[in-house]
Amino acid sequence: MDESFLEGTFRLRTEYIPLCDLLKACDITETGGSAKLLIADGEILVDGEVELRKRAKIRPGQTVSGQHFAIHVTT
């Protein structure tokens, strides 16, 4: 990913999506493994709070963010 700030919306078609899968689906990371590393390093926020659970259930209405991105999850 380049260094510009990315802000977008992810439309959820199920009840939730695991955090590591969301990062991969939105092209924040290229692989699930690199998504898990970002999460483990404390670099991912869910609704403004550090989230360390790789498979945290992300639901509509939540915002996932990091140093260079913000993803708003909707239905």
69 within 8 A of 28, measured Cβ to Cβ: yes
The domain that contains 43 carries what CATH number?
3.10.290.10
| Partners of residue 70 on adjacent β-strands | 7, 65
Range of the domain at 42: 6-74
Instruction: Say what the pLDDT of residue 66 is.
Output: 95
Q: Which two tokens stand for residue 64?
A: 């996932």
pTM of this prediction exceeds 0.85: yes
Residue 1 lies in a domain: no
Q: Please report whether residue 70 resides in a domain.
A: yes
Residue 45: its H or E element: strand 45-46
61 found inside a domain: yes
Q: What is the pLDDT of residue 3?
A: 61
Query: pLDDT (tens digit, 0 to 9) for every residue of the chain, 75 residues total?
Result: 446 788 999 999 999 999 999 999 999 999 989 999 999 999 999 999 999 999 999 999 999 999 999 999 999
User: What is the structure's pLDDT at 1?
Assistant: 43
